[in-house]
Structure 1
Amino acid sequence: MTKKRVVIFTGGNLSPQFLKEIGKDDIIIAADRGALFLIEHGIQPHIAVGDFDSITEQERESVRDNSERIITCDPVHKDLTDTEMAFETALDLEPTDILMLGATGTRMDHTLANVHIMVRAMQHHISCTLKDEHNYMMLTTSEAFVEDRGYEYISLLPLTNEVTGITLEGFMYPLDQATIRMGQSLGISNKLLGKSGTVSIDSGLLLLIQSKD
């Protein structure tokens, strides 16, 4: 199967270093202010989506003039956030991978909603990761290979009532067939012993967060 990756730039915390994440074959979808961010840095989004209510009319004109395709919606009567609109657009392209950038920020409701979007990607058998300057997030229902990406800590959080059979290899604090339930902090602030490690589980949905201060 040929790999097809979609990179979504949305309107949370964005940094110029994110531009290095773009590969030559990636499809770039930008949501609202994420489109303006790309254009201001000389990148033309393949698709720009959203209500664009967070930018000025002059900036909207710039987005319209410098995006290959625009999908707009009414800023009041809409059911989806701009990020979810971008995600739905990505699903229509049937990618194998989705990378979300700018999906975290000061609005915790939007940040948590975007973490939950990763669950929907998994339901469609699409690998989805969420990255910002301090965090790299992914999900697993079975086994995950964790690479050293320059983040100091690795934390495990259940997204179901409990995750069972958690086994860690290559970590400072190993686990063997452990169970973590919602509200427990057993999986917080672990570290890799080397350049990589593996996380395997028997049941549940596990969020893996690589982070640094």
Structure 2
Amino acid sequence: MQRVNILLGGPKSEYPDELLNDPSSLPGPWIGADRGNVYLISKGITPKMAIGDFDSSSNKEKAEIKASISEVKKYPPEKDDTDAQLTILAAHQKYPAEEYCIYGATGGRIDHFLANLYLPYDPRFADFYDKMYYKSATNTIRFYKPGEHQVSHEKGMKYVAFVHLGPVKNLNIKDAKYTLTNYTADHAVSWASNEFIKPTIDFSFESGVVAVIQSKDKASN
């Protein structure tokens, strides 16, 4: 399978246009976490699975989810994993794919965002974190394993950041506005506000986890 779409519980204010306008036109099946399922149903989409503790859903919404979706996995609110962790793991287990396009992962509560950002360090995600793609109205995030990589400039995004989420060895950034050569550190660093000067940027590193974040400023009201 090429792509699986996942809608987590982040606020609707952070949804990109493709999710606000016509998500049914996006390729691949959908899986929803908690109230994300209610939004998908309202857009004419029937998720393959609904997952979560559903503590943020009303009784009416819970009934709608149960009536519309054939596979509902309900967990107690007091649990070790977040709804996001449970949903992404379930999606990967049942629907192996080349890419998991995840919406609602970066907005809202900062503690939830950080939990999602550091999923690559959870051993259960080790074999597929580089297939996860977070997308919001103003940010995208991809995760990379050690090696040589090329990043393409995404339409509408102005900035690119290279963030090693922990120790990194010999990080190199080439063909960008700001380059970096053989940088090694024993702590996390966000190399923020870099920019593309060509359609692509090459980068490499020998150990660690690097998140590449493309972003733009939110339009002022």
Same structural fold, with TM-score higher than 0.5 when normalized by the shorter chain = yes
1:49 aligned residue (48, 51, 55): 51
SS of equivalent to 2:118: helix
Aligned to 1:177: 182
Q: Which amino acid in structure 2 is aligned with residue 95 of structure 1?
A: A
Aligned length: 208
1:166 aligned residue (162, 171, 174): 171
The within-5 A match list for 1:168-207 is 168-182=173-187, 184=189, 187-207=191-211
How much has 1:23 moved relative to structure 2? 6.4
Aligned to 2:215: 211
Give the whole-Å Cα distance in 2 for the aligned partners of 1:44 and 1:51. 19
Aligned to 1:123: 126
Q: Percent identity?
A: 30
How much has 1:184 moved relative to structure 2? 4.4
Q: Which amino acid in structure 1 is aligned with residue 88 of structure 2?
A: F
Give the whole-Å Cα distance in 2 for the aligned partners of 1:50 and 1:180. 37
The within-5 A match list for 1:96-175 is 96-120=98-122, 123-125=126-128, 127-140=131-144, 141-149=146-154, 150-161=156-167, 163-175=168-180
SS of equivalent to 2:192: coil
What do residues 122-170 of structure 1 show as CA deviations (whole Å, max 9, x unaligned)? 6114511111111111121223321111211111121122x22222222
Q: TM-score, normalised by structure 1?
A: 0.86
How much has 1:16 moved relative to structure 2? 6.3
Aligned to 2:6: 8
Give the whole-Å Cα distance in 2 for the aligned partners of 1:24 and 1:109. 29
SS of equivalent to 1:83: helix
What do residues 1-60 of structure 1 show as CA deviations (whole Å, max 9, x unaligned)? xx4422110110332624356666513110001111111222111111111111211111
SS of equivalent to 1:113: helix
SS of equivalent to 1:105: coil
Contact 1:51–1:72 (CA<8 Å) still a contact in 2?
yes
**Structure 1 portions without partners, runs of 5+:** none
Q: TM-score, normalised by structure 2?
A: 0.84
Give the whole-Å Cα distance in 1 for the aligned partners of 2:179 and 2:161. 12
The within-5 A match list for 1:64-103 is 64-75=66-77, 77-93=78-94, 94-103=96-105
Q: Which amino acid in structure 1 is aligned with residue 7 of structure 2?
A: F
Runs of 4+ in 1 over 3 A off after TM superposition: 20-25, 118-122
What do residues 80-122 of structure 1 show as CA deviations (whole Å, max 9, x unaligned)? 2111110120121233321211012221110011112244476
Q: Which amino acid in structure 2 is aligned with residue 13 of structure 1?
A: P
CA pair 168-26 structure 1, distance change in 2 beyond 3 A: same
Aligned to 1:17: 17
Contact 1:13–1:103 (CA<8 Å) still a contact in 2?
no
CA RMSD of aligned residues (A): 2.2
Aligned to 1:26: 28
CA pair 49-122 structure 1, distance change in 2 beyond 3 A: closer
